[in-house]
Structure 1
Amino acid sequence: MLKPELVEAVLARALKGGADFAEVYAQRAKKRRMKVRQGALEEALSGLDYGAGVRLFFGTEVVYAYTNDLTQEGLMEALETLLRAKGALGKVDEGGKGGLDFRKAAPKGLHAPKVPYGEKDKRYRLERLLEAEAGARIAPAIKQVEASLLEWDEEVLVANTEGVWAEERRVRTRLFVLAVAQEGTEVQTGYSAPGKSVGLELFDLYPPKAVGEKAARQALTNLKARPAPAGTFPVVVGPGFGGVLFHEAVGHLLETTSVAKKASVLADKLGEVVASPAVTYIDDGTLPHAWGSTEMDDEGRPTERTVLIEKGVLKSYMVDRLGHLLTGYPMTGSGRRQDYTFAPTSRMRNTFLAPGEARVEDLFAGIEFGLYAKEMGGGQVKPGSGEYNFAVQEGYIIRNGRIEEPVRGAMLVGKGPETLVRVVAVAQDLENAPGMCGSLSGSIPVEVGQPHVLVSEIVVGGRA
């Protein structure tokens, strides 16, 4: 992507200009998206984006510039402007945003679909999407189905003045199916979207017909569900995407972007009990083929398995280079960014509650009345405190230890640190699920996960 002698010249000039540390990040990303709706092809797009960013440290002050001109002149222009400014221009905020934009207008045709994107042709992809669409047609009440495929092929280079030269190719594929069920005026949706750091073998791991059927069954379940009750109940949260609750309400509190500013309620608590003994919380960027895995982070450091909370005790934070300089905590290979237009910040990779010892059925036993949040949806979190509200995508009443009628419209409300303490038991059936985390330094691929988890009480917002 960039010749070593060019990168060496940029880094040498940065040090000569007074920087304590300098880094070059280069990226070339190819993406393809295909979508079918109601059995017909609606969209088939592909694109190419490339560029580089130069980051300089003057103590703990960071400046950043980026450009899509990868010639020596283009990179040196970005660097020299930063050196002249030395912090007056190009300053990056705590979210990795800012910097000087040296991108130049691309000629027409740069994103033409002739860019190679694998061995299979469009017809093969279309056939798989039509299989997913057909798989969702399991009942007359399914009125609309949309299926789409995302392919993401990215090359990354990181080099810095500590002698790092690290390159990686990152390939990710994801299948999305949205099913809409309708009966009279009542309309409900179901959704399924598996994704992995793999190629088109994703279709072997997750057969399209089964993905479509899962989305449709969720829509049909919600169609016949009654409104959820409101109150404070025991809640069993299902595996997989149920982990989004802890990702949003706890995980972000453990990133040094908030810890270094004392903006997190979990700052300065290493070695303290912050959760139930049933909780071991891990962020692991090394899981084979996981959606959020990489061999290196976006600062060129090898990714690792970081135990954040072990049996209720806070053991580590997620630390990038700037976070290390500000806090003294060791770096954990957690520096991530959306693309070359962002400077990296500390971010999650694949974050999950480790399996416990309980059997799934034991979590439900003894609950006189509660909620089973089988599938979680989206929500909101207040930064710093971990206050959250999350929608339950598919829920059921628990009555006398049994899973009974489905309910819809449930919302879980609470504070992440308080919920951690109220975890009663964790089952053994760990599952992870893919998602996109839109936070500091842009939108990045992550996995969230957990086994079935029993929380002694959560406030449930409902309509009944």
Structure 2
Amino acid sequence: MDKFTINEVLREAARRGAPFAEIYFEEKNNFGLVLEEGKIEKVSQGFEAGAGIRVIDEKGRTAYAYTNDLSLDALLKAARVATLGLNGAQETIALKNPLVAKNEIKIKPEEVAAEEKLKLLKIADEEIRKLGPEIRQVQAGYGEVEAKVVVANTEGTYVEMEKTRVRLSVQAVAEKDGVIQTGYDAIGTTKGFEIFQENNVESLARVAGERALKMLSAEPAPSGEMSVVMAGEAGGTMIHEASGHGLEADIVQKRMSVYAGKMGQKVASNLITVVDDGTISGKYGTIPYDDEGNKTKKNVLIDRGILTGYMYDRLTAQKDQVESTGNGRRESYQHKPISRMTNTYIAPGEDDPEKIIREVKEGLLVKKMGGGQVDTNTGDFVFEVSEGYLIEDGQVTVPVRGATLTGNGPEALNNVLAVGKDLGWSIGTCGKDGQGVPVSDAQPTLLISNLVVGGTGRIRRK
């Protein structure tokens, strides 16, 4: 996408009355492999390119048109579609010198042979199967995306950036005496193929396989209100779902968030600080600029229990008369940007994780979270526990299965009694409004009192 073409498209939108117009160009290569039962189940490779044109009128209403025909005529036609119904010419501002963000990677994924990528999946498969005959099924997947993006608008913004992501995931299914359990783990980065020099695939595979095997001998989880220790390695699912979405400005402005109207108020324990940071090197949700051309930042959302900020894109920032926080993200050129998380986490505290467990007389240790549901209006949530253990007299004892956690996001954060020094990250694809974007989330070890655990068993009494 050359500068002349960009100028012509923006000029056309302004000439037709657009107070603000933006063009988002994307060129993307994808490659993926799935190995199942030791055999290649799926190979995918693709290339796509296109551009989206967004127009915003004086009332904040948005029109969006996109095309995969990158000829000037096609782009001008898209600009005319996006400006239908507008009147009066607007002035354009000359594009500034481009802000260029290059990938900080050592080994480009596209330069690594497919056989090397397949070899990683075979290593994972073999490592899990070594764990025993109870392993019935293994699936390993590899994916990579390499993209070039240009964002420009009638205010003069002009950003060029590269995006690279690499991911490897493993899932094991174990069975014994009719009981079936699964274990899952994944790694992902915005770096290059060097991730596999920095992370051991065998270790990743063993974690997933051993998780499935441990849960085979697990007892039914107890039920009732109790203390819950969420290990750092459990990942940041709870903070992402129970609080993160409720801190996205569009949800807040629609009054669909439990955090609406609570700026400056206490919404969590004073031990809790929540941050969204798109600048952390190598994390799966990291981007140098958001998909509106704004530089990403470290945004403190909750500071020692006090609500201090929301995550803004351009439109929501204009509505609240603040600056964008660099959280305008989109799945592809076919989607308009909306406020989204990047890397969201609870900041580490000062407590020793092992000491936190020792101080619990009776409760549940969550080593890995599963899926769940959250109502952003109320903050109420229900989460599954993929790997959990009883805590009895300060000791981790038997594994339990079938546990769920039920509660309310702000209430749970207010009931945090201890925050560990550690910080465990997890990766995922976050869905919202029909769009999926890559994110990371994390938390330290947390001790939460009075959380409702659902299960079919009982607390063991000595």
Pairwise CA distance, 1:266: 0.8
Alignment-derived partner of residue 111 in structure 2: 119
Alpha-carbon distance in structure 2 between the residues aligned to 1:195 and 1:313: 32
The structure 1 segments of at least 4 consecutive aligned residues displaced by more than 4 Å after TM superposition are: none
Alpha-carbon distance in structure 1 between the residues aligned to 2:240 and 2:233: 12
Match of 1:128 among 117, 120, 124: 120
Alignment-derived partner of residue 51 in structure 1: 50
Alignment-derived partner of residue 387 in structure 1: 380
Q: Would you say 1:299 and 2:298 are equivalent positions?
A: no
Pairwise CA distance, 1:54: 0.5
Alignment-derived partner of residue 68 in structure 1: 68
Describe the superposition over 1:414-453 as per-residue Cα deviations: whole angstroms up to 9, x where unpaired: 1111111111111001121111101136100000101101
Q: Would you say 1:345 and 2:338 are equivalent positions?
A: yes
Structure 2 residue matching 1:293: 3-state secondary structure:
coil
Alignment-derived partner of residue 357 in structure 1: 350
Which ranges of structure 2 fall in alignment gaps of 5 or more residues?
88-107, 458-462
Alpha-carbon distance in structure 2 between the residues aligned to 1:315 and 1:79: 38
Identity %: 40
**Greater shift in the superposed pair: 262-271 or 330-339:** 262-271
Which ranges of structure 1 fall in alignment gaps of 5 or more residues?
88-115
TM-score (norm 1): 0.91
Alignment-derived partner of residue 452 in structure 1: 445
Pairwise CA distance, 1:296: 0.3
Structure 1 residue matching 2:349: 3-state secondary structure:
coil
CA contact under 8 A between 1:276 and 1:423: conserved in structure 2? yes
TM-score (norm 2): 0.92
Residue type of the alignment partner of 2:341: M
Match of 2:261 among 268, 273, 292: 268
Alpha-carbon distance in structure 1 between the residues aligned to 2:428 and 2:412: 22
Match of 1:327 among 320, 326, 346: 320
CA contact under 8 A between 1:158 and 1:165: conserved in structure 2? yes
Q: Would you say 1:442 and 2:435 are equivalent positions?
A: yes
Pairwise CA distance, 1:260: 1.5
- Please report the RMSD computed on the Cα atoms of aligned residues, expressed in angstroms: 1.4
CA contact under 8 A between 2:109 and 2:193: conserved in structure 1? no
Alpha-carbon distance in structure 1 between the residues aligned to 2:382 and 2:28: 34
5 Å matches for 1:100-115?
none
Alpha-carbon distance in structure 1 between the residues aligned to 2:205 and 2:357: 29
CA contact under 8 A between 2:230 and 2:366: conserved in structure 1? yes
Match of 1:150 among 133, 143, 147: 143
Pairwise CA distance, 1:182: 0.9
Pairwise CA distance, 1:147: 0.9
Q: Would you say 1:421 and 2:421 are equivalent positions?
A: no
Alpha-carbon distance in structure 2 between the residues aligned to 1:442 and 1:142: 35
Pairwise CA distance, 1:86: 4.1
CA contact under 8 A between 1:247 and 1:351: conserved in structure 2? yes
Paired residues, number: 435
Alpha-carbon distance in structure 2 between the residues aligned to 1:380 and 1:263: 15
Pairwise CA distance, 1:214: 0.9
Structure 2 residue matching 1:356: 3-state secondary structure:
coil
Structure 2 residue matching 1:372: 3-state secondary structure:
strand
Structure 2 residue matching 1:379: 3-state secondary structure:
strand
Residue type of the alignment partner of 1:40: K
Alpha-carbon distance in structure 2 between the residues aligned to 1:155 and 1:333: 19
5 Å matches for 1:146-295?
146-295=139-288
Structure 2 residue matching 1:340: 3-state secondary structure:
coil
CA contact under 8 A between 2:234 and 2:366: conserved in structure 1? no
Structure 1 residue matching 2:110: 3-state secondary structure:
coil
Alpha-carbon distance in structure 2 between the residues aligned to 1:233 and 1:49: 51
